[in-house]
Chains A and B, each alone.
Chain A
Amino acid sequence: MAKKIIEVEEVVVKFAGDSGDGMQLTGTQFSNTSALIGDVVSTFPDYPAEIRAPQGTVGGVSGFQLHFGKIVDNPGDYSDVLVAMNPAALKANIRWVKDGGTIIIDTDSFTDKNFEKAGCVQEKLKEIYENYNVIEAPMTSLTKEALADTGLDNKSMARSKNMFALGMVYCLFDRPLTHTEAFFDSKFKSSPDVAEANKKALRHGFNYADTIHAMPSYRVQSADSIEKGTYRNMNGNTATAWGLLAAAEKANLPFFLGSYPITPASEILMEISKRKDLGAKSFQAEDEIGGIVTAIGAGFAGSLAATSTSGPGLALKAEAIGLAVITELPLVIVNVQRGGPSTGLPTKTEQADLFQALYGRNGESPVPVIAASTPSNCFDYAYMASKIALEHMTPVLLLTDGFLANGTEPWKIPSMKDMPAIKTKLKKAGSGEYQPYARDPKTLVREWAIPGTEGYEHRIGGLEKMDVTGTVSYVPENHEVMTYHRQNKVEKLAEVFPELEIEGDKTADLLVISWGSTYGHMTTAVRELNKEGIKVAHAHFYYINPLPKNTEEVFSKFKKHLVCEINLGQFAAYLNTKYPKFNYKKYNKIQGLPFTVVELKQKFKEIIENK
């Protein structure tokens, strides 16, 4: 029987299994290999909050989705290929498989007992067989057979079944095994038998898929033109950490991170902790408040200081952010948003901390807010957040989210010499008079005299200060003056922020509006509709407070405005306070999941047609 070959522009593959099945490793290996051979890749891991939820249950399913091919801006909505290691993984993911898609199952795990744990029945499988191309492979037993002569125990052998599955998918898409083989050789340098077993399982999986012939073969179109340069895979949290470090190096300042572990932001603290080689100091505080206040102390002492957290942690830091506002010290606060309120959905994504970022403090407490849109540009926006903080002497809030934090994509490595210069406000010893709250008349920014600098001893703090001199002041008029200074200093940032750009069809009636991590799905939906001849334009916001100065002008060019966000409409409400003359329609989703391109396109069409 000849192999069926399916030609596609892009493909979505999802690996799903028990949280102990090694699906994250499997998916990462596939995406790394694909990136290495020149594909555009976007990935999204989807894992439970519990480290090891009860085996075999839907709650314990861990997944890793990846999207690769010609044009890829997001990790994809629906899978072309699903690898399901047990019935729970199938049950949890079947609704995300394209009609007629391929499903590879480990038949050894599809037992009555496991169906029961997953809360479904064997009969269900029959329906699936009718609608999908199901490939059965007794992966557990084949892996054990293949590894019988390795001397490993039963449990260790069974553990390599994820590599058997990966081998099968490598065959399906004609990927080389070399990268993953090299990975095992380096990872298990000290136990070559484990490396060998994994490599063997991988090869047997590949050969098995090649032999059974029942599988189709995909030919994925490669990217039209990838910009020349050196690439690496990048996830949002590492990119954020590196962006902060890059800014410190550019500004010629020591770097300090004060943080407390919290999902999904912990990797930022972990990455900075590794970077003692660059002189970075990481302080794992006893709580979220300790995290930010040590950072404020480090900022006072002359470091580029940052704190990283997620929504509940940002709530705890609120009072201290106010302290950074009133003392006008540089500080970067990274909020990797997750589903809320309270503990909410720790491992799921959401954009519902926008109000908290904008308004969640006592008093008039303006803070610049910016948001990254892809895993790799977390680097650029962490860098920008640092630049703004240092050049404008203010805390800056950078919003990312769980979707960006854990997602990966290939990233063209920038060169430090090309990164924009950062000019700090450091007051050098012997450079004339110093008044803590004397300001640059144009930007309203004060100077930064740090302890250790002779002759500039001064006191700052949370009490209101006298304009210019910085002594404690309860004078009513002075409080108003200082409140305006702080507010105007932030508003003036609009002068230096890049203008808002329009993507898609500029002649459209409908402008769809987004911010943060929805960019990939939004831009794909707009591009696809434009290709179908449907007019729609897109404006994506990176700078939220203050808004780009041409925002109103851009909005005025369109008749309809649809604001899409993963919350109940916080950005739409914010825009309404700034530019109330437009009638903002809203499209919202609050499922802990990103938008799908399919649902966005459908919504855009509805709005366009419904004149």
Chain B
Amino acid sequence: MSNPTYTFKDFKSDQEVRWCPGCGDTAILMAVQKAMAELDHKKEDYAVVSGIGCSSRFPYYMNTYGFHGIHGRAGVLASGVKTANPKLSVWQITGDGDALAIGGNHFIHEIRRNVNVNILLFNNQIYGLTKGQYSPTSLFGQITKTSPYGTVEQPFHPGELVIGSQGKFFARSIDSKVKETTDILIEAEKHIGASVVEILQNCVIYNDGAYDIITSKETRDDNQIWLEHGKPMVFGKDNEKGLVLNGFKLKVVKIGENGIKESDILVHDATESDPSLHLALINMRVKDGFPVAFGVIRKVKSASYEMLVEQQIEEVKAKSKIKTMDDLLHSGSTWLVE
């Protein structure tokens, strides 16, 4: 059957979008709808599942099969859907509270198992739906409704958790960058296995401007580096800056200064299975003098959970004498009463 031609409008549901005006979620919704329209699946083969939180209202705005779950359980809901029917394209919408606090356990195990699900982690560093409490990604010292004197907790960095869970795909984007996010989502969908896309999302009400240092017009060129597989790691207004290795650590250099040539700059290899350099890229922060890395940082081939399950079923079926329930009922020791 030929693939139908869709536009993003085909993926809009008839429900009114109820996120706050200016919320970053709206732009991400557009990116997802555009990505789905470009991908090869039929509309009925998409399943969008979520947990609880602002971002988790997402399925209601999509004209696909959708399941709005319970708090923290998006990962297991998605794993169940995908394992039961591997033909579906499963998209998991989750936030920093849903995935990393109440659902932290499911998040790491879903990645470890490598279930072929596209995990969109909307990271706004705050609890929005419950009105402004700190989240596991809130910055140390951040003042929120439940930390009026500043948090005394260190934040999680989602990418580090992904690497620690043996994750094979990690990408980072920004809510407002619809085109870039769309491209990343397409790549995430095509990757076999758990694909985590962290999207820095601005909560206009409870944590407005959290990412200004990265996204503002004045600073964005110096504080963002968009990585592309096979391309040198350069950034800056005129791509005049780049990354090199200094011992085991990354270092920002200026091309043309101190004898640095363009050929000295690291070339991004997303497919490298050793996660060391990917982890270093993930952990670059503005406060340490680095740009924040965006794009597909890690994409390593590996068999997915549900594929291995299907494969094992086929292998066991081929060998076993038990083909039906009646065979099973009569297997092992039985005796006849006449």
CB of B77 closer than 8 Å to a CB of A:
yes
What residues of A have a CB within 8 angstroms of the CB of B52 in the complex?
Answer: 462
Chain A-chain B contacts (Cβ-Cβ < 8 Å), number: 204
Given A452-B45, A453-B44, check contact A416 B81 (CB 8 Å): no
**B316 and A277 within 8 A (CB):** yes
| Given A230-B336, A452-B87, A457-B44, CB of A463 within 8 Å of CB of B68 | yes
Measured in the bound complex, the distance between the Cα atoms of B337 and A35 in whole Å is: 11
Contact B76 A301 (CB under 8 A): no
Residue B335 interfacial (CB < 8 Å): yes
On chain A, the residues within 8 Å of B316 by CB distance are 276-277
Query: With a CB–CB cut-off of 8 A, which chain B residues contact A226?
Result: 337
Contact across chains for A461 and B67 when beta carbons are under 8 A apart: yes
List the A side residues contacting B80 at CB < 8 Å. 256, 258, 283, 293-301, 305
Considering the chains assembled together, what is the distance between the CA atoms of A284 and B254 in angstroms?
51
What's the least CB distance linking B193 to chain A, in Å? 17
| A426, B43: Cα distance in complex, Å | 19
Which stretch (A241-249, A335-343, A345-353, A583-591) binds chain B?
Answer: A241-249
**Interface status of A413 (Cβ within 8 A of chain B):** yes
Chain B hits for A294, CB < 8 A: 76-77, 79-80, 83
Q: Which residue of A has the minimal Cβ distance to B317?
A: A277
Report yes or no: B109 in contact with A290, Cβ–Cβ below 8 A. Answer: yes
Residues in chain A near residue B59, CB distance under 8 A: 459, 461
Selected from B60, B73, B85, B322, the residue in CB contact (under 8 A) with A472 is B60
Q: Cβ of B64 < 8 Å from any Cβ of A? A: yes
B249 at the interface (CB under 8 A from A): no
In the complex, B152 has a CB within 8 A of chain A: no
Closest to A454 in B: B44
Measured between alpha carbons, how far is A156 from B44 in the docked complex, in Å? 62
| Beta-carbon nearest neighbor of A285 in chain B | B76
Kindly provide the distance from the CB of A46 to the nearest chain B CB, expressed in whole angstroms.
24
Q: Given that A279-B313, A294-B80, A319-B70 are contacting pairs, would A415 and B326 also be in contact in the complex, using a CB cutoff of 8 Å?
A: yes
Within 8 A of B (CB), among A224-261: 226-233, 242, 245-246, 249, 254, 256, 258
Contact with A along B294-313 (1 / 0, CB 8 A): 00000000000000010011
Say yes or no: is A275 at the interface (Cβ < 8 Å to chain B).
yes
How would you classify the secondary structure of chain B's contact residues: helix, strand, loop or mixed?
A: mixed
Complex-state Cα separation, A289 to B74, whole angstroms:
11
| A534 on the B face (CB < 8 A) | no
CB distance from B57 to the nearest CB of A (A): 8
Q: Is B105 an interface residue (CB 8 A)?
A: yes
B19 close to chain A: CB less than 8 A: no
Residues of B within 8 A of A254 (CB): 84
Chain A residues touching B, majority SS: mixed
Structural contact, A451 and B330, CB atoms closer than 8 A: no
Q: Is the CB of B335 within 8 A of A230?
A: yes
A230 to B323, CA, bound (A): 19
Q: Does A38 contact B (CB under 8 A)?
A: yes
Q: Is B37 an interface residue (CB 8 A)?
A: no
Given contact pairs A294-B76, A297-B79, A414-B329, A36 touches B335 in the complex (Cβ within 8 A): yes
Tell me which residues across on chain A come within 8 A of B64, comparing CB atoms.
Answer: 457
Once A294-B80, A297-B67, A451-B44 are accepted as A-B contacts, the answer to whether A245 and B317 lie under 8 Å apart by CB is: no
Chain A residues near B50 (CB-CB < 8 A)? 461
Residues of B within 8 A of A413 (CB): 329-330, 334
Chain A nearest Cβ from B303, distance in angstroms: 16
Q: Are A298 and B84 in contact (CB under 8 A)?
A: yes
Decide: A289 and B76 in contact? CB cutoff 8 A: yes
Assuming the contacts A242-B329, A452-B44, asked whether A297 and B66 have C-beta atoms less than 8 A apart, the reply is no
- Which B residue's beta carbon lies closest to that of A289? B73
Q: Give the residue of B15, B67, B326, B338 whose beta carbon is less than 8 angstroms from that of A460.
A: B67
CB-defined contacts of B332 to chain A, threshold 8 Å? 232
B320 at the binding interface (Cβ < 8 Å)? yes
A-B complex: 4 closest residue pairs judged by Cβ atoms: A297-B80, A461-B68, A294-B80, A277-B320
Inter-chain pairs besides A276-B320, A294-B76, A451-B85, 9 sampled, C-beta below 8 Å: A276-B316, A286-B105, A290-B106, A293-B77, A413-B330, A452-B44, A460-B68, A462-B68, A462-B70
Identify the A interface with B (CB < 8 A).
32, 35-36, 38, 226-233, 242, 245-246, 249, 254, 256, 258, 275-279, 281, 283, 285-287, 289-290, 293-303, 305, 319-320, 322-323, 327, 412-416, 450-463, 471-472
